[in-house]
Amino acid sequence: MKQDFQRFVSRNAAIVVVAPHDAEKVAAYWRKEDLPMIGVPDADGKLAHLYGQEWKIVKLGRMPALFVIDRNGALAFTQYGKSMSDIPENIEILKVLDALAEL
């Protein structure tokens, strides 16, 4: 999402990444990678649990999950990954945002 960050911003979207680490580790990674989106630490997994994100030790941790939440707080799009690489392409999410803008 970093490479298309401005395309998301131009659609009035905020990208929030919930990371399975503590605040110090998240901040260090965000600085190292120069990430423009918001990073939220979730070392204890409370947010992951709240949104039903799976944890699979066999697959090296939390499975990816992606949510688009509309301005009313409703889930407009959800995807729960089956593997660490199961993440939608940015264009798919941008299409969801465009559809929301038309409502």
Please give the pLDDT value at position 60.
63
Its domain, for residue 89, covers 5-102
Please give the pLDDT value at position 61.
74
- Counting the structural domains of the chain, the total is 1
| Predicted model pTM | 0.82
Query: Has residue 23 got a pLDDT over 80?
Result: yes
Residue 81 makes CB contacts below 8 A (sequence gap 6+) with: 63, 64, 65, 66, 87
Report the SS3 class of residue 26: helix
Write out pLDDT tens, residues 37-96.
Answer: 999 999 999 998 888 887 766 656 788 899 999 989 999 999 998 888 899 999 999 999
CATH code, domain with 62: 3.40.30.10
Strands (E), the chain: 16-19, 38-41, 55-56, 61-62, 65-69, 75-80
